[in-house]
Amino acid sequence: MTAQALARDDLGALFDALRAEGYRVVGPTLRDDAIVLADLRGPEDLPAGWTVRQGPGTYRVERRDDEALFGFAVGQHSWKGFLFPSRERLVEMRREDGALEHRPAARDAAPLAFLGVRGCDLAAIEVQDRTFMRGRHVDPGYDARRRAAFVVAVDCLEAGDLCFCASMGTGPGVERGFDLRLTELGPRFLVAVGSARGASVAARLPLRAAPAGDERRRRDGLDDARAHMGRTMQADDLPGLLFGNLDHPRWDDVAARCLACANCTLVCPTCFCFSVETVSDLSGTEARRDRAWDSCFTVQHGQIHGATFRPRIKDRYRQWLTHKLGAWVSQFGVSGCTGCGRCIAWCPVGIDLTEEVAAIRATSRPAVAMPPPPAPAPAVREPMVPATARVTAVRRETDDVVTLRIAHEIAFRPGQFHMLGLPAIGEVPISIAGGDGRSVDHTIRAVGAVSGALAALEPGHALGIRGPFGSAWPLEACVGRPVVVVAGGVGLAPLRAALDTMAARPLDYPSVRLLYGARTPADLLFTDDLQRWAADPRFAVRVTVDHAGADWRGDVGVVTRLITDVPPDAVALVCGPEMMMGFSVRALCAAGLPAERAYVSMERNMACAVAHCGRCQLGPYFVCRDGPVFRFDRIARLFDQEGF
Partner 1 sequence: MQDGVAAAMESLDLFRQLTEAQRRSLAALARLEDLPQDAVLLRTGEASARLWVVLEGRVALSLDVPGAVEALLLTLGRGELVGWSSMLPAPRPRAVANARALEPARLLAFDAGDLQRLCEADHEIGWVVMRSVLAAVGRRLTETRLQLLDVYGKRP
Ligand X SMILES: Cc1cc2nc3c(=O)[nH]c(=O)nc-3n(C[C@H](O)[C@H](O)[C@H](O)COP(=O)(O)OP(=O)(O)OC[C@H]3O[C@@H](n4cnc5c(N)ncnc54)[C@H](O)[C@@H]3O)c2cc1C
Q: Which residues lie near partner 1 (CB under 8 A)?
A: 305-307, 400, 447, 488-490, 517-519, 523, 544, 546-558, 560-561, 576-577, 579-580, 583
Q: Which of 304/472 has CB closer to partner 1? A: 304
**Between β-strands 188-193 and 286-293, what pairing exists: parallel, antiparallel or unpaired?**
unpaired
Strand residue runs (E) in 64-165: 87-96, 99-104, 112-117, 150-154
Closer residue to partner 1 (CB): 129 or 603: 603
User: Around Cβ 571, how many Cβ atoms within 10 Å?
Assistant: 21
From the list partner 1, ligand SF4, ligand X, none, partner contacted by residue 555 (C-beta under 5 to 8 A by kind): partner 1
Taking the least distance from each CB to partner 1, the nearer of 423 and 517 is 517
With respect to ligand X, which residue has the nearer C-beta, 420 or 515?
Answer: 420
Shortest Cβ contact with ligand X: which residue?
Answer: 448
User: Is 88 in contact with 155 (CB distance < 8 Å)?
Assistant: no
Q: Return the number of the residue (112 or 455) whose C-beta is nearest ligand X.
A: 455
Instruction: Pick between residue 448 and residue 592 the one whose CB is nearest to ligand X.
Output: 448
- Closer CB to ligand SF4, residue 123 or residue 450? 123
Written as one letter, the residue type at 226 is R
| Shortest distance in whole angstroms from residue 522 CB to partner 1 | 12
CB 25 within 8 A of CB 113: yes
Residue 607, H or E segment:
none
Residue 347 or 432: the one with the smaller Cβ distance to ligand X is 432
Minimal distance, residue 450 CB to partner 1, in Å = 15
Residue 230 binding target from ligand X, ligand SF4, partner 1, none, CB below 5 to 8 Å by type? none
Shortest distance in whole angstroms from residue 170 CB to ligand SF4? 9
Return the amino acid letter for 41: R
Binds 478, which of ligand SF4, ligand X, partner 1, none (CB < 5 to 8 A, cut-off by type)? none
CA distances from 451 to 83, 100, 314, 448, 543 (A): 33, 19, 31, 6, 26
Q: How far is CA 341 from CA 231, 267, 385, in A?
A: 8, 10, 36
Amino acid at 38: A
| Residues in CB range of 355: below 8 A, 6 or more apart | none
Q: Which does 556 bind (CB under 5 to 8 A by kind): ligand SF4, partner 1, ligand X, none?
A: partner 1
Q: In this structure, are strands 99-104 and 87-96 parallel, antiparallel, or unpaired?
A: antiparallel
Which does residue 263 touch among ligand SF4, partner 1, ligand X, none (CB within 5 to 8 A, set by kind)?
ligand SF4
- Give me the residues that bind ligand SF4 (CB under 6 A), please: 258-264, 267-270, 297, 324, 337-343, 347-349, 351, 353
Provide CB contacts within 8 A for 596, sequence distance 6+: 631, 632, 633
Residues forming a β-bridge with 434? 441
Listed residue (536, 537, 489) closest to 515, CA to CA: 489
Q: How far is the CB of 450 from ligand X (least distance, A)?
A: 3
The minimum distance between CB 552 and partner 1, in angstroms, equals: 6
| H or E stretch at 362 | helix 353-362
Q: What is the number of other CB atoms lying within 10 angstroms of the CB of residue 40?
A: 20
Cα(477)–Cα(146) distance, integer angstroms:
41
Of 262 and 495, which CB lies nearer to ligand SF4 in the complex structure?
262
444 touches, from ligand X, ligand SF4, partner 1, none (C-beta below 5 to 8 Å by class) = ligand X
Q: Please report how close the Cβ of residue 272 comes to ligand SF4 at its closest, in angstroms.
A: 11
Residue 585's nearest CA partner among 513, 620, 635 is 635
488's contact among partner 1, ligand X, ligand SF4, none, with CB below 5 to 8 A by partner kind, is partner 1
Least spacing, CB of residue 259 vs ligand SF4, in Å:
4
Minimal distance, residue 305 CB to partner 1, in Å: 6
Separation CA 631–CA 617 (nearest Å): 16
Find all residues with CB under 8 Å of 584, minimum gap 6, and list them.
486, 488, 559, 560, 563, 574, 576
382 binds, among ligand SF4, ligand X, partner 1, none (CB under 5 to 8 A by kind): none
Contacts with 65 (C-beta within 8 Å, 6 or more apart), sequence order: none
- 57 vs 371, beta carbon nearer ligand SF4: 57
CB-facing half-sphere around the CA of 341: CA atoms within 13 A: 30
Q: Taking Cα atoms as reference points, which of 341, 353, 267 lies closest to residue 55?
A: 341
Considering the complex, what minimum distance in angstroms separates the CB of residue 428 from ligand X?
A: 3
DSSP 8-state code for residue 327 = I
With CB cut-offs between 5 and 8 Å by kind, which of ligand X, ligand SF4, partner 1, none does residue 417 bind?
Answer: ligand X
Q: Report the residue number, 234 or 527, with the smaller CB distance to partner 1.
A: 527
Nearest distance in Å: CB 631, ligand X: 16
Query: Minimum distance between the CB of residue 18 and partner 1, rounded to whole angstroms?
Result: 55
Q: Which does 426 bind (CB under 5 to 8 A by kind): partner 1, ligand SF4, ligand X, none?
A: ligand X
